[in-house]
Amino acid sequence: MSYIDQKLLRIGVFYDGGFFYHVSNYYKYAHQRKKRISVPGLHEFIRQHAAMLESVDVRYSQIVDSHFFRGQFSAQQTQAHAKLYAERAFNDVLMNEGVTTHYLPIPGKTEKGIDVWLSLEAFELAMYKRYNILVLIAGDSDFLPLVRKVNSLGAKVMVLGWDFKYTDDLGRERATVTSIKLLNEVTYPVLMHEIIDNKTRQNDSLINNLFVEAKPQQEPETAARPIEHTAAVESPQATSPAEKHYTGAILSLKEGFGFIQCAEHPDNVFFHFSSLLNRDFADLHEGDEVTFSVAKGDKGLIAQNVEVRTQ
């Protein structure tokens, strides 16, 4: 048995929560799998993939630390939209998997400072806990300084990245691309979309377990809220017929889309999950008040820049 086989392969996992939710939303609403990413399944994949790359028995490949960083709305905002249960359900998933959560208050529509906080915590923990591999679930080039600092400690860095495209209901192409600069700096760049969509692994339980099995009337991993993420490179917004913003209420919700009731548009206005600004589709409820603009689609008006009104 080699020297490395006799020692535990210590793995630390760090989530950029905004990036993780962005990816999870894609697989739930735009990918053919129609399922969310599973945290336990992702951790098992990391263990086994790291063991393969380091040529050790998987029993010696263990996640000794995992941390999730995310912006969070105030309790008043969360309660106003009946999202406390959804957030608690996702926190239960993280807690059961031993993931330490770090939440930063969101003063406006988007989170700020998460990358800096994650980087500082990750470097400090890598230094004191002496990870063999630090795993980043992120796609932003802002994490380059962290990677270089961790490399200087003699630890290896693995990035789980995703590149994907889909077309929204206005025919616009939406794309997310993991920073090539980030991938070039790490020891182990892992492009998850290629592994997941590999036809030779369709019956691989390790890959299929990356996704949450559907359960009646609940999604255990859906405290999501899409945010503006620098790793997501999107095509320019379509020009709406008017810059006017409307106020309405969500009339109905389907799988990844819904309709808004608005006095100025008697036919009701269609909206797609990708048009949401400050909430995840899974957090919406019929009757939620929203503001939005409109654009012309092939089958009529489509709501754009949909924002749930907060109290």
Q: Are 69 and 102 in contact (CB under 8 A)?
A: yes
Q: How far apart are CA 87 and CA 237, in angstroms?
A: 30
> How many other CB atoms sit within 10 Å of the CB of residue 291?
16
| Helix count and strand count (H, E) for the chain | 9, 13
Out of 3.90.105.10, 3.40.50.1010, 3.20.20.70, 3.40.640.10, select the CATH number for domain 4-208.
3.40.50.1010
Q: What residues in the chain have per-residue pLDDT under 70?
A: 1-6, 72-88, 106-112, 169-170, 214-243, 311
The predicted pLDDT at position 131 comes to 96
The residues spanned by each domain of the chain are: 4-208, 246-308
Beta carbons within 8 Å of 246's beta carbon, 6+ residues apart: 262, 264, 265, 269, 291, 292, 293, 294
Place of tokens 């994949």: 45
- Buried b or exposed e, range 235-263, using 16+ CB within 10 angstroms: eeeeebeeeeebebebeebeebbbbbbbe
pTM (predicted TM-score): 0.70
The predicted pLDDT at position 93 comes to 80
Phi, psi torsion values for 14, nearest 5 degrees: -130, 120
The predicted pLDDT at position 265 comes to 82
Q: Which one-letter DSSP state was computed for residue 234?
A: B
Question: What residues form DSSP beta bridges with 195?
Answer: none
Dihedral angle of Cα 232, 275, 35, 203, to the nearest 10 degrees: -50
Question: What residues form DSSP beta bridges with 270?
Answer: 259, 302
Out of 2.40.50.140, 1.20.1260.10, 2.40.128.630, 1.10.10.10, select the CATH number for domain 246-308.
2.40.50.140
Tokens describing residue 123: 């470097």
Q: How far apart are CA 223 and CA 216, in angstroms?
A: 17
CA angle 202, 214, 288 (to 5 degrees): 130
CA angle 164, 167, 172 (to 5 degrees): 115
Q: How far apart are CA 218 and CA 49, in angstroms?
A: 30
The predicted pLDDT at position 219 comes to 45
Type of residue at 225: R
Q: What is the pLDDT of residues 146-160, one digit of tens each?
A: 999 999 999 999 999
Q: Are 163 and 201 in contact (CB under 8 A)?
A: no
DSSP H or E run through 185: helix 180-185
